[in-house]
Amino acid sequence: MTPTDSPSWQRVIGVLRRTPPLVLPMLVLSAGLAVAGSVAVKGIRTAADTITVTGASTERIKSDRADWTVTVLGSGTSQQEAYRTLQPQLKRTLEFLKAQNIPSQAISLGMLQTHRQESRNRVTGALVSTSWTARQPILIGSKNVELVNGVSQRIGDLVGQGVPINISPPAYTFTRLSEKRVDMLAKATTDAKNRAVAIAQQAGSGIGAITKADTGTFQITVPNSTRMGSYGSYDTSTIWKDITAVMGVTFRVQ
* pLDDT tens per residue across span 163-173: 999 999 999 99
pTM of structure: 0.71
Query: Would you state the pLDDT for residue 120?
Result: 80
User: What is the rounded distance in angstroms from the CA atom of residue 121 to the CA atom of residue 105?
Assistant: 49
Residue where a domain stops, chosen among 173, 200, 222: 173
Q: Which domain holds residue 19?
A: 3-46
**Which residues are CB-contacts of 239 (< 8 A; sequence separation ≥ 6)?**
62, 63, 66, 145, 146, 149, 172
Percent of the chain with pLDDT over 90: 60
Residue where a domain stops, chosen among 152, 173, 194: 173
Q: Are residues 58 and 182 in the same domain?
A: yes
With beta carbons less than 8 A apart as the criterion, state whether 222 and 242 touch: yes
Instruction: Give 210-229 pLDDT, tens digit per residue.
Output: 999 988 778 899 998 877 66
Q: Are residues 86 and 169 in the same domain?
A: yes
Looking up residue 206, the CATH number of its domain turns out to be 3.30.110.170
The domain total for the chain is 3
Residue where a domain stops, chosen among 173, 205, 231: 173
Percent of the chain with pLDDT over 70: 79
Report CA 171 to chain centroid distance, whole Å. 18
Q: Are residues 222 and 128 in the same domain?
A: no
Looking up residue 139, the CATH number of its domain turns out to be 3.30.70.2970
Query: Would you state the pLDDT for residue 224?
Result: 84
Instruction: Give 76-128 pLDDT, tens digit per residue.
Output: 999 999 999 999 999 999 999 999 999 999 999 999 999 998 888 788 888 88
